[in-house]
């Protein structure tokens, strides 16, 4: 008889590109998202929770910076005749489907916010995962740039609400139409034939996006014949003449000390392009609306260097950048960088309805913003755990549960130790792993006298680090209190 082959045990490993989130990470994220949703609701936005699964057809080809988004999603087909389905890669494509499907029932404009995980089937890397959280707010059905200005104001308020102080961030605003106007003046965009010079424009866009990394000389090389990096690799350029390249460089260097001065310079660069002039006028309107509400250049500014995958957008674009310094993995100082971005995308809903529907919105990178709050010391790495009621006598478990119930009814997070109570030291080790601030001890002797022992685990840990034996005796971390005073005592200690 053949020997039955044992089924191998599954490996307990997280799939590549994914990660698990524990205790403090989950609760801190929820607390931050609650603060964000408070701001969004203050602005009149309504919550939307759409399906995590969409048809591939509905998701379409609108994934920013990816030419073939279907290759970047997790997709499957239930049978040969069924639609292909996919996990959503962002929260904007599902919004377009929702609005097109329910537009007769929804108000116009429709103002919604959404929070949740998204999935991208891309190569993972350090800090780059295939599942991550996004937090979006969008206005659909409003063509006025007042909607864009409102999103920028709300983004500013949101950053301050979660703990990024004024001066440590800036919301930068640009406009796709302005860049199109510059491209037209530079001779790499023909309004009558948008497909013409498409390759050149793609190279120009990517070059502009690399300004921070390559500097003006590196970008200028990419606008021209091309650039060879330190390793000898050559990147083909857009092939622009010196005169054409100078127009694009002038756009990238158009930022001035004030929004008004920047707008004036941009007007000079787009002379001859109706699209460019319209874009500059939109930026001018946004600047006026911001100033009227008290959002000055220390919070929101016009900045032509903002790109944000401009192929995705049709008008204003904006990006929230954190300006304070942190140290990288090698200890070198650098600015934290971008945590949110968005813009106007008037073509997305049109795929479903055949009619252009104006829309604008912003997406916050939840994990990056959480990391920024940690870097600013706005969040503790460890949350406070529950009060632990230890078990000295198994036969009195019901009594211990009554203590816990009393604490919970008073709004105090608490639990009874449910492991093997034989070794009391293990109970305290458990409390330590749970980051518990207090342990409650009640044996039969304490019960007869109507008292309990309250052990301050935080104070005990601090004393153990530095105190001598005599100092330890003078600062007892454990005290005896009347059973009737337990809840009041715990509240006072926690406060």
Amino acid 328: pLDDT: 64
> Residue 421 is inside which H or E element, if any?
none
Confidence at 165, pLDDT banded by 50, 70, 90: very high
pLDDT band at 472; cut points 50, 70, 90: very low
**Which string of b and e fits 313-335 if b means at least 16 CB within 10 Å?**
bbbbbbbbbbeeebeeeeeeeee
* C-alpha–C-alpha distance, residues 268 and 290, integer Å: 23
293-315 average pLDDT score = 84
Max CA separation in the chain (angstroms):
94
Give the three-class secondary structure for 466: helix
Q: Which residues contact 342 (CB under 8 A, 6 or more apart)?
A: 136, 151, 308, 317, 318, 360, 361, 362, 363
Of 334, 350, 375, the residue at which a domain comes to its end is 375
Residues 420 and 277 in one domain: no
If asked whether residues 299 and 447 sit together in one domain, one would say no
- Tell if the pTM clears 0.75, that is, is over it: yes
Higher pLDDT, 294 or 63: 294
How high is the pLDDT of residue 71?
67
Last residue of a domain, one of 314, 347, 375: 375
pLDDT band with cut points at 50, 70 and 90 for residue 315: very high
Mean pLDDT value across the chain:
87
Please check the confidence at residue 174 and state whether its pLDDT lies above 90: yes
| 63 and 134 fall within a common domain | yes
Contact present, 113 and 137 (Cβ < 8 Å)? yes
Select from 90, 95, 72 the least CA-distant residue to 352: 95
Q: How far apart are CA 91 and CA 118, in angstroms?
A: 7
Q: Residue 176: give the domain boundaries.
A: 23-191+251-375
Whether residue 385 contacts residue 435, with contact meaning beta carbons closer than 8 Å, is answered with yes
In the three-class reduction of DSSP (H, G, I as helix; E, B as strand; rest coil), residue 200 is classed as helix
Q: Which of 38-52, 74-88, 177-191, 383-397 has the highest mean pLDDT?
A: 38-52
Relative to beta strand 234-236, strand 438-441 is unpaired
Tens of pLDDT along 34-63?
999 999 999 999 999 999 999 988 887 545
Question: Helix, strand, coil: what percent of the chain each, to 5?
Answer: 40, 20, 35
Q: Is 394 exposed, middle or buried (0-12, 13-18, 19+ CB in 10 A)?
A: exposed
**Among candidate residues 318, 350, 375, the one where a domain is terminated:** 375
- pLDDT band per the 50, 70, 90 thresholds, residue 212: confident
**Predicted local confidence at residue 123, as pLDDT:** 84
pLDDT digits (tens, 9 = 90+) for 13-34: 999 999 999 888 898 999 999 9
Q: Does the pLDDT of residue 256 top 90, yes or no?
A: no
Quick one: pLDDT band at residue 69, thresholds 50, 70, 90? very low
- Considering the domain architecture, whether residues 369 and 405 belong to the same structural domain is answered as no
């Amino acid at each position: 008889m053949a020997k039955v082959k044992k089924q191998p045990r599954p490996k307990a490993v997280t799939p590549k590109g994914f990660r698990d989130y524990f205790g403090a990470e989950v609760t801190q994220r929820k607390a931050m998202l609650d603060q964000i949703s408070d701001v969004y609701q203050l602005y009149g936005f309504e919550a939307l929770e759409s399906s995590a699964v969409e048809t591939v057809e509905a998701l379409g080809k609108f994934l920013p910076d990816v030419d073939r988004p279907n290759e970047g999603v997790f997709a499957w087909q239930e049978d040969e005749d069924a639609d292909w389905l996919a996990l959503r890669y962002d929260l904007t494509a599902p919004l377009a489907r929702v609005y097109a499907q329910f537009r007769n029932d929804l108000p116009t404009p429709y103002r919604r916010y959404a929070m949740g995980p998204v999935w991208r089937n891309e190569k993972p890397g350090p800090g780059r995962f295939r599942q991550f959280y996004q937090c979006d707010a969008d206005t659909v059905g409003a063509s006025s740039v007042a909607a864009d200005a409102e999103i920028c104001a709300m983004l500013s308020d949101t950053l301050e609400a979660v703990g990024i102080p004024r001066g440590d961030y800036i919301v930068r605003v640009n406009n796709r139409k302005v860049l199109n106007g510059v491209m037209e003046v530079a001779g790499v965009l023909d309004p009558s034939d948008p497909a013409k010079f498409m390759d050149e424009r793609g190279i120009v866009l990517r070059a502009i996006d690399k300004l921070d990394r390559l500097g003006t000389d590196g970008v200028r090389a990419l606008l021209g014949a091309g650039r060879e990096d330190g390793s000898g690799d050559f990147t083909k350029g857009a092939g622009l003449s010196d005169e054409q390249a100078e127009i694009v460089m002038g756009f990238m260097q158009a930022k001035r000390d004030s929004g008004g001065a920047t707008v004036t310079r941009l007007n000079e660069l787009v002379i001859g392009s109706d699209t460019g002039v319209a874009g500059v006028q939109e930026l001018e309107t946004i600047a006026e609306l911001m100033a009227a509400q008290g959002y000055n250049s220390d919070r929101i500014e016009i900045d032509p260097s903002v790109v944000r995958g401009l192929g995705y957008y049709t008008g204003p674009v904006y990006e929230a950048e954190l300006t304070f310094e942190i140290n990288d993995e090698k200890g070198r100082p650098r600015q934290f960088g971008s945590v949110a971005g968005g813009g106007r995308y008037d073509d997305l809903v049109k795929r479903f309805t055949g009619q252009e529907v104006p829309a604008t919105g912003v997406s916050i990178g939840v994990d990056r913003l959480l990391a920024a709050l940690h870097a600013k010391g706005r969040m503790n790495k460890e949350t406070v755990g529950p009060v632990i009621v230890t078990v000295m006598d198994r036969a009195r478990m019901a009594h211990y549960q009554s203590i816990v119930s009393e604490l919970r009814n008073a709004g105090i997070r608490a639990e009874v130790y449910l492991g093997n109570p034989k070794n009391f030291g293990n109970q305290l080790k458990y409390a330590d792993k749970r980051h518990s601030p207090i342990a409650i001890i009640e044996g039969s002797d304490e019960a007869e006298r109507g008292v309990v022992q309250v052990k301050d685990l935080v104070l005990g840990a601090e004393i153990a680090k530095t105190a001598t034996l005599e100092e330890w005796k003078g600062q007892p971390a454990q005290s005896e209190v009347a059973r009737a005073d337990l809840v009041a005592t715990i509240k006072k200690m926690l406060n």
